[in-house]
Amino acid sequence: MDSSLETAADREHLRRVVIDPVSRVEGHGKVTLLLDEDDHVREARLHIVEFRGFEVFIQGRPYWEVPVMVQRLCGICPVSHHLAASKAMDRVLGIPVTRSAEKLRRLMHYGQILQSHALHFFHLSSPDLLFGFESEVGKRNIVGVAAAYPEVARQGVLLRKFGQEVIRATAGKRIHGTGSVPGGMNRHLAVEDRDALRAEIDHMVEWSRAAVELVKRLHRADPALYDEFGRFRANVMSLVRADGAMDLYHGALRFRDADGKILVDKVPDQSYRSLIREQVKPWSYMKFPYLQQLGPDEGWYQVGPLARVQNCDFIPTPLAEAERREFIDHGRGEPVRATLAYHWARMIEMLHAAETIRDLLGDGDLLEGALLADGERGNEGVGIIEAPRGTLIHHYQVGDDDLVTMCNLIVSTTHNNQAMNTAVREVARRYLDGRKLTEGLLNHIEVAIRAYDPCLSCATHALGKMPLMLELADAGGEVVDRVVRD
């Protein structure tokens, strides 16, 4: 894989351009570009500038507190952390969760996928895609979308609201609920909640189909951009169900190489450490995971919608499966690798989530049945789930006194670290190299990062207009150009 542009040879003599913070993503990150005197990009890096420390302060806490505590990592996908931790603790307790509990968790999780994908596409990314990367910056936001495309914005807002309602009905709260507990669930779905959700679910399926259509129209309207922007070869990883189906709640790990060939398959979640290693680089707080057998240079990989839609053999709901086939056909025998195809894959998953919720809502096990079971207590457990942004791994060891002694979290965005850096470099090389920098040009970099829907802090997200100041300094440190967005 191409690692050029990661570190320039003569860094001290290059001009430094900083995008800080990267906007319309969750959390805080920045991009640094080093340019030579002819404006050629010599180095491009995405830095994650936050440090959270959850893995350490989970240690010494009782295991039953963990699924509630860890979801404070994130305000956008707390359910993913809630469920990954619960699954790990199921293992610690040696409990196979009951049918009702698993279905309730699945419903919660697919509600999470629906709301997060809707938030990302409509609120965060659609302004770039509908108006253009270099469009007027003052309108390039969800308010601008609401003014120009009111029905698109309305459906986006209501899709997210529905997903949040699914979470509330299963977890107790829209954000940071407590429905899932080690070994099962603590509540059934109330009949009135089931009925209220069923009354709306057909709209959600239809609007999700419309969202897939919208992305396809965008691809068809400008294939030169959508098929080429930020395109590069990469391995992919995701959970896959035993029969090869997409399953975002549970499965075994599968890797494919950049040609789409399966490298590793059916690896149980408890064995993730036999596959994945993490590399530390001095310029980032975020580690760089890689497939051990390929090593850090060749073994990095993508996770998330683009990986999942192409890694599974089929999607087990009919409308999303039809869309998956069309997506695969778009690659004409090759894996689809364009960065903007993440949006297309994400909307296919949103449709799958809506269909799955519709099917689950007809299941009586949600309303009654045992929620907890007994098991034989152990001391270690791994929980893996496909969070909206990709594979999320929680790994704990618990002492006989019930306190956590070890916690290892590999969050989705961490898996995508190298891929996002590669996307930044591809875009910098293709669009910025040798040109005078403008806000619009630099937004190309942000568009590439945004496609991954990164959750840079896995922290509570404040949606709004984030300030951006770009300074171009000459080799002597003198500021020669400045672009400010406030």
Smallest distance from the beta carbon of 73 to another protein, in angstroms? 11
Options 13, 60, 190, 213; binder of another protein; rule CB under 8 A: 60
Smallest distance from the beta carbon of 329 to another protein, in angstroms? 46
Nearer Cβ to another protein (93/211): 93
Nearer Cβ to another protein (69/466): 69
Smallest distance from the beta carbon of 171 to another protein, in angstroms? 9
The DSSP bridge pattern shows strands 235-240 and 301-302 to be: parallel
- Give the type of residue at 144: G
Nearer Cβ to another protein (186/270): 186
The residues in 8-47 that bind another protein, with binding defined as CB under 8 A, are none
Cα 476 to its chain centre, rounded Å, is: 40
The residues in 370-399 that bind another protein, with binding defined as CB under 8 A, are 372, 399
Nearer Cβ to another protein (69/322): 69
Regarding 259 and contact with another protein (CB under 8 A), the answer is no
User: In sequence order, what are the residues at sequence separation of 6 or more whose Cβ sits closer than 8 angstroms to the Cβ of residue 476?
Assistant: none
Nearer Cβ to another protein (54/285): 54
Options 1, 18, 49, 69; binder of another protein; rule CB under 8 A: 69
Taking CB under 8 A as the binding criterion, the range among 63-71, 214-222, 270-278, 476-484 that sits at the site for another protein is 63-71
Report in angstroms the alpha-carbon separations of 470 from 11, 30, 195.
19, 11, 51
User: For residues 227 and 339, what is the distance between their CA atoms, to the nearest angstrom?
Assistant: 8
User: For residues 389 and 367, what is the distance between their CA atoms, to the nearest angstrom?
Assistant: 30
Smallest distance from the beta carbon of 69 to another protein, in angstroms? 4
Residue pair 430/277 in contact by the 8 Å Cβ criterion: no
Regarding 78 and contact with another protein (CB under 8 A), the answer is no
Regarding 228 and contact with another protein (CB under 8 A), the answer is no
Smallest distance from the beta carbon of 403 to another protein, in angstroms? 5
Smallest distance from the beta carbon of 91 to another protein, in angstroms? 16
Nearer Cβ to another protein (71/310): 71
Binding characters for another protein, 161-200, by CB under 8 A (x = yes): -----------xx--xxxx-xx---xx-------------
User: For residues 15 and 168, what is the distance between their CA atoms, to the nearest angstrom?
Assistant: 50
User: For residues 455 and 470, what is the distance between their CA atoms, to the nearest angstrom?
Assistant: 22
What backbone torsions phi and psi does residue 58 show, to the nearest 5 degrees?
-70, -30
Residue pair 360/257 in contact by the 8 Å Cβ criterion: no
The residues in 427-466 that bind another protein, with binding defined as CB under 8 A, are none
Smallest distance from the beta carbon of 218 to another protein, in angstroms? 40
User: Binding residues for another protein, how many (CB under 8 A)?
Assistant: 24
Report in angstroms the alpha-carbon separations of 102 from 1, 251, 360.
40, 13, 11
User: For residues 208 and 360, what is the distance between their CA atoms, to the nearest angstrom?
Assistant: 17
Nearer Cβ to another protein (173/220): 173
Smallest distance from the beta carbon of 389 to another protein, in angstroms? 22
Smallest distance from the beta carbon of 39 to another protein, in angstroms? 48
Listed residue (357, 349, 285, 296) closest to 321, CA to CA? 349
Nearer Cβ to another protein (69/245): 69
Smallest distance from the beta carbon of 479 to another protein, in angstroms? 38
Listed residue (271, 272, 344) closest to 301, CA to CA? 272
Smallest distance from the beta carbon of 442 to another protein, in angstroms? 37
Listed residue (266, 287, 263) closest to 277, CA to CA? 287
User: For residues 447 and 131, what is the distance between their CA atoms, to the nearest angstrom?
Assistant: 12
What backbone torsions phi and psi does residue 281 show, to the nearest 5 degrees?
-120, 140
Nearer Cβ to another protein (17/68): 68
Regarding 62 and contact with another protein (CB under 8 A), the answer is yes
The residues in 346-365 that bind another protein, with binding defined as CB under 8 A, are none
Options 367, 403, 406, 473; binder of another protein; rule CB under 8 A: 403
Residue 431 CA neighbour count, 13 Å, CB half:
26
Written as six digits, the tokens of 84 are 């990954």
Listed residue (144, 154, 188) closest to 170, CA to CA? 188
Options 190, 402, 435, 482; binder of another protein; rule CB under 8 A: 402
Smallest distance from the beta carbon of 399 to another protein, in angstroms? 8
Regarding 401 and contact with another protein (CB under 8 A), the answer is yes
The DSSP bridge pattern shows strands 29-35 and 41-48 to be: antiparallel
- Count Cβ atoms below 10 Å from residue 378 Cβ, excluding itself: 12
User: For residues 156 and 323, what is the distance between their CA atoms, to the nearest angstrom?
Assistant: 19
Chain residues binding another protein by CB under 8 A are 60-62, 64-65, 67-69, 72, 172-173, 176-179, 181-182, 186-187, 372, 399, 401-403
